A and B are shown apart, each in its own frame.
Chain A
Amino acid sequence: MHTRLILYIAYSLKASRHYQRSKDFFYDLLENPHSQLKSYFDVFMIILVASSVSVLLYEVEHQTSKWAVLFENFVVTVFICEYLLRGWIYSNIHSAIINHYENAEYLGTPFRLHKVLGQIIATKLSYIFSPSAIIDLLAILPSYRPLRILRIFLIFRLFKLFRYSQSIQMFTGVLKNKRFELTMLAIFMGFLIFIASTAIYMFENEKMGGQITNLYDAFYWAVVTISTVGYGDLTPVTTGGRLVTTALIISGLGLLAFFTSIIVAAFSEKMHEFQDDRVKANIEKLTDATILCGFGRVGQDIARQLHQNKQSFVIVDINENNVALAKQKGYIALFDDASKNSALEQAGINHGAKAILCTTGDDVTNVYITLTSRYLNPEISIISRANQEENVKKMYQAGANYIVQSYTIAGLLAAEYIGHPVAFEAINGILHGQQDVQMEALNLAQNCFLTGMSIAAANLGQYKVRLIGVVSKNPVHGKHRNRYKLHNQHFYFNPIPGFILHDGDILVLLGRHLSIEHLHDLIATSCLQKNIKKSL
């Protein structure tokens, strides 16, 4: 009967979405390292711990006020709730029961409740005895009046900070990694202290004319000496005692050096990992990023432009010097082979990246990166650099959207200089953004104020910009002349005043940076207004 009731409860809990949701919420709040909620909660708890300890310190010398008691009660309540909630989300009781039941059903063995309960209790006990849970408990217990004697343990509240601060967690992580070395060291130190304290007790006891009265004194003296602190409150007077002291000081020096080197080595080993982790965490935060494969001359120049225009990007390079240079400039850089799936995935090809630029100087590498990226993400926009004319076709086959032929453009530009030096300068200026004047494309988003207007009515001249043409996919414009094919859309050069603008058309404008930005803002705000009105 009990068994069936428990099973019923377990299954209904499993089915209950409300229960799951609240459990997920508390998981996000307390444990999930990627959730924003946890970081807020951590800050809140740090403040709570700090202020509660400050209040306790204040009470050492001052009268306890009513508010302080209230605050203390509040803090303890929060701590208790946190402790219990952590215990709750530590494991799933109902799924343990269901699992066990279903296994028993499958194997045809009888279902024994006490066995499951034993398992559940074991897991919950493992929570209770985990170091952080013990610290949590010790931070709560001293508030219980009969246990006032444990007031000293209130200092454990400060240890609670371990949970909420990542850098402290990092430190404990490093120590954990060197557990073996540290244990060895501790054993050796214990051994040394034991020998030294017995020796000093034998040489320096009161009978021999020394200051050491008991074994505790001997132990205290050994620790003070081995740590090279040496207060000098207990000093050896006999020859034997001095010999022991000399030996202990020398081994103490060695011990300290050994300890320091272990910690330093552990940190330097781990530092790379931490840096990588930070880079990865940074990449995960990016949206609409560009992945830049290759940080050579071309890559550096593109990175500089992207950085100037505050666009996010990730650099992947196989050359250590290039990566170091990128990091020095404060860019996010991965030291990896960009033709490997894992490198591109880490750079965020499937989340957050909108485009890939293959800018290495080697066409073979560029083709390979293009192919890999296209395979990993069929949607992403790939721009690849080709150094040899004959490789252009291969790059398109590999899946590149656009190709930049570095030497070809340079040659073309040089030839242009012969016939049209002025036009060349003009275009060069616009291209490089050296002048204030820009050629810019503005997208007419849905429901913007220009939609449905004719070009004459839009009167773009009033915004101090001039319209060169319109790029559009819309077949409505098909009847207009001056049509040039452009991928899957058309460019309408110098459209007539009666040309009606539609959603999704792109205006190609010439104007000053300021006026283009102004028009862009007007379009964006008019869309927002219309959309808000619609939703109302």
Chain B
Amino acid sequence: MTHPLIAIFGYNSMSFELITQLNEKQSELIIVDADAEKIAQAQKKQLPAQQMDYRQDDNLIALGIGSQVETLFCFLENDSENVFLTLSARALDKNLKIISVVNQPESAEKLLAAGATKIIDPFEICSNKAYQLLTKPSITWVIDEAVFGRADLHMAEITIPEHSSLDKSYTSELHLNKQYNLFLIGVVDKELGDKLYFSLGEQDHKLDAGDILVVLGANRDIRKFKQEIGVTQ
């Protein structure tokens, strides 16, 4: 089994931003587009790109869908193309993570029905962001920093490992802000399912190995915390 691969269909300004981010994380990826000109552009920037007709299942299998490819991004121009690609890929691999953009709001349901794991509506994101800038600009900044990590502030999710010092402890005993200079946003308590519980001091959760803590803080503080609770990188 080789490294898990991320396949990105469609080369445009949106996928370029994604690629830049993914490159920073050193993920292995491949760009696929039907347009030879776009492939040439991508290759000029020394990005791994391949020209392919995604309408053929054989081509998709050859790319590694069903085997090596773990995540698929559908960033094609038309919703119909994205739906088609999602359907073909889902038929080939039941466990594939498929993330697709959607241009028309009514296509969202179709994409989900076709088997997309997650859909991204750039227009909706844009309008939400604009609205937020209008109503609460300072929050926007905090979220920008936390989500996109442009400053030293990051949001991280930490899975509690086996035999950790946190195993069997309670969230109320954590005091992350005092001890580690971290802000606990929420907890996924596996005993209660996959739902994220925001940490608002209303409810105490017993932590077990496998539970996920979502924290906000500076990079080094997050690293320090991970080390102390025994997360191996």
Contact = CB atoms under 8 A, between A and B. Distances in A.
Interface of A: 290, 297-302, 305-306, 309, 311, 355, 357, 359, 381, 383, 385, 387-389, 402, 404, 406-427, 430-432, 435, 437, 439-441, 461, 464-466, 468-469, 471, 482, 484, 486-487, 491, 493-494, 506, 508, 510-512
Contact of B185 (A411, A415, A426, A471): A426
Given A414-B120, A431-B132, A508 B157 contact: no
A406 B122 CA distance: 6
A409 B126 contact: yes
Interface in B50-97: 71, 73
A413 B124 CA distance: 12
Contacts, number: 201
Given A357-B134, A423-B156, A510-B185, A418 B27 contact: yes
Given A385-B126, A468-B183, 15 more contacts: A305-B131, A359-B130, A381-B134, A383-B134, A389-B13, A406-B126, A407-B13, A411-B16, A418-B71, A422-B214, A427-B155, A437-B200, A491-B145, A493-B216, A506-B138
B163 interface: no
Contacts of B148: 412, 416
List the 10 closest pairs (A to B, CB-CB), nearest first. A411-B17, A415-B21, A301-B127, A406-B126, A410-B122, A407-B14, A411-B18, A297-B123, A298-B127, A407-B13
A349 to B, nearest CB: 15
Contacts of B177: 494
B169 interface: no
A468 B142 contact: yes
A508 B136 CA distance: 10
Contacts of B131: 301-302, 305-306
Given A419-B25, A471-B138, A387 B13 contact: yes
Contacts of A355: 134
Contact of B157 (A404, A420, A435): A420
Contacts of B202: 464
Given A411-B15, A416-B148, A427-B143, A461 B201 contact: yes
B40 interface: no
A502 to B, nearest CB: 16
Contacts of B145: 484, 491
B170 interface: no
A511 B15 contact: no
A417 B125 CA distance: 14
Contacts of B14: 407-408, 410-411, 414
A413 B125 contact: yes
